[in-house]
Structure 1
Amino acid sequence: MVLPSYAGEPLPSFRDVAGAASTHEAGAAYTVPLWCTLRLLGGALRRGFAREAMLRHMRVPPARQDDPQWPVPVADLGALLRHLARRMDDELVGLWVRPVPFGSFSSVARQLLHCARLGEALQLALRLYRLIAPGFPLRLRVTQGLARLEMQPQPSDADVTLDAAAVYWTLALARWLVDRPIPVHSAWMHSPAQDSCYRERQPFFEVPTQYGCARTGIAFDAGWLNRPLARSAQSLEPLLAALPAPLMRAGAPPPAAAEQVCSQLQLHGGDGFAGTLQSVARTLGLSPRSLRRRLQEEGCSWHDLKDAMRREQALDWVSRTDLSLAEIGERLGFADVSTFHRAFKRWTGEPPGEFRRQHQGRAAPPPSAPASFRLAAPASSAGHRGH
C-alpha cells in the first residue's frame, strides 16, 4: 500500500490565526468560540459545576458571557478541562455515560509509543479504552482503502458533543504520533444540522460534512495506518502537561530528527542497534544524506545517538538482568565480546563484570550521553550470568 505524499503545508485548524509570525504564536493565539466551550462543559454543568465560575476560570469578561462568539483561548479552556477532570475523576468531564478515570490518557499514550506503526497504535488505544471504560464507543475499521474512525450508536442520554470531540481528538492524536497532517477524505455527523452559531472559515473536520447521520465519524486514506511513529517518550511529557489544548489546534512542535532516530532504536530494542543509518532513514522517509544533515543541524550525529542508546541499554542489561555479557554484546551489535568490553569500559571506567558485581539488581546509572530514553529490559531468565 502506497503512503500518501506530504507536501509540508501547515494543518488547517478549527480557527486559523491570520498573520501569525510562527506556528508557536499561532498556537498561543488560538481560540475557540464560547458556544463551543460551553458544549464541551455541558457534562460538568449537568453535574452541578457553576457556569459563572467556569467562565471566570476561562477569563471571559462578565459583559461578554452571553456572547456565543466570544473567543476563548484554547490554553484557558484546556486548563479548565484539566481542573474539572481531576475534580470529577473523569477525563471526559461528564460527556459520556461512564467516567474515564483521570490519568487514563497518560497511561494509554505511554503504551502507544511502543507500537511500530500508526494503525497498531490506534487499535491498541481503542482496546485499552474499552478496558478502562467498558463500552467506549469509538471504533476503527478499514473498507475499500479508507480507514473509518467512527463512534458507535450510544444511549439516548449520551451527549452528542462527545461524538465530534472523541473523533476530532483521536485524529489529532494520530497526526501527532506520525507528525504528518493526515487529510480527511470525508466526514459525517450525528447532529441534525450545522449549528447556527458555527461561523468558522472551515468545517469542523476540514471537509464538507454530512449532518443528520446515524453516527459521527471520518474517513482517511488507509495508507496512513502503515506510517511509522515519529514520537518518543521525550515529546510525550510536554503534550501531557498541556492537554487537551495540543489536540485542539495544529501548533504542536514537530519532533527533532534526533528524537525520531532514538524512537526507532528504542522501538526495536536490541535489534535496532544492528540497524544502519540507511535503514532508519528509509523508515523515516528521508534519504541518509538528509538525515545526517538534520542531525548535524541539531548538534549531534548518528554515531552519537547510537552510542548513547547502546550505553544506556548496556548499563540496564548488565545491572538488571542475567544475560551473559557475550549475549548483551551480540544484542547491542558488537562484533565480539572483547569489543563490547572495551566500549563498556570507555563508558563507565570499569569492565562490565565488575560493574555487574557492584550494581546487580539496582537501577542503572543515568546516561551522560546526549539522549536519554528508557528501553524495556528483557526477562531476567533469558540467559546466564557471565563475567
Structure 2
Amino acid sequence: MSERTTSSSWALGIVQALEMGGVDCRRLFTELDLDYAALEDPDARFPQDGMTRLWRRAVELSGNPAIGLNMAKVVRPASFHVVGYALMSSRTLKEGFARLVRYQRIIAEGADLSFRPLPDAYALVLAIHGDRLPPARQSAEASLAYALAFCRWLTGRPIRPLQIDFQGGPPEDLQPYQQVFQAPLRFNAEHYALLFERADMETPLPTANESLAQLHDRFAGEYLARFSESRVTHQARQVLCRLLPQGEPKREAVAQTLHLSQRTLQRRLQEEGTSFQQLLDDTRRELAGQYLAQPNLTLLEIAYLLGFADPSNFFRAFRRWFDVTPGEYRARL
C-alpha cells in the first residue's frame, strides 16, 4: 500500500524549526523510529504519518503549539528541493507560485496547493491531508509561515498579505501569529490560505533568470515523472487526458486500459488519497486552466475537449472550481 511521503529537504527544515524551539530531534527521531541520518540524503523521503507524529510530540515536549511558525526562520531555497530554485528563477512570484503548485508533490505529498486569481487579489490555498492520522495543524501553519517568509526573502521586500486564513479556531496566544504574518488573521476559514495583493505577485523578481528557470523545470519535471510513474493516480490521469475529448470517461474504460479490475483501480486510488470521481474532476480543472490560456480555443471547444456533452455543465463545474465564469477567468489571463 503506497503511503504519502515528505521529502528529506522539507523534513530537514521542520527539524531545524523544532530544534530552534528547544526540541532534541535526534532523540525524538529514535523514539518515533525515523531515520535521522536520512535527513542528509536529498533523495530520501519520510512517511507522512511519521511527520505528523513528529509535530505532535514536539508540541508536547516544547509546550509550544505555535512551534510550526519557526519555519519562517529557516528560509532557504533547498527546503523546497529543486522547486525552490525553480521558484527563484521565475519572472514574478505569480509565475513562481504556478511552478510551486505544479511540482508541490516533490516537496510533500500530504499537501494540495492551488494558486487562484481573485477579483483584486491572489490566493495561495493549502489543504493538508493525513494518511492514517489526521494532519497536525502545525504542519499547515509551518507551510504558510515558510511560504510568506520565502516571498519576503526572494523579493527583499516586507510583503504584507491582505489576509491569512486558518482552518481551526483561534489559538490562546495570538502574539506569535501576529509577529510572523503581520497581516489580518481569519480563523475557522474553509481552507488555509495566504491572500496577496496583485501588485506583490506581479512585480518582477530580482533573481529572475529565464534559462535557469527552464533548466529547473526540466529537473523538476524529470524528478516528478520518476516519482509518479509508479503511481496509479498518475497513470489514470494520463488515460483520462487521452479519453476526455471523446466524452466523459467511464471508470470501467480507464480500469481496462490500465489492465486492472474496477475494484482494484478504486482501491489503489483510495490508497493514494483520491477517488475516480475526484481524479476526473481534478484533471478537468487542471486542463480547463491550460485550455483557457490558449486564445484560439473557443469556450464551446474547451467544454467538449473536457468531455462535457452539455456546455452548461462545463460552466457550472468551472464556477465551482474557480469562483468565476470561464469568460471572466480568460479576461484576467
- Superposition TM-score, scaled by structure 1 size: 0.35
- Superposition TM-score, scaled by structure 2 size: 0.40
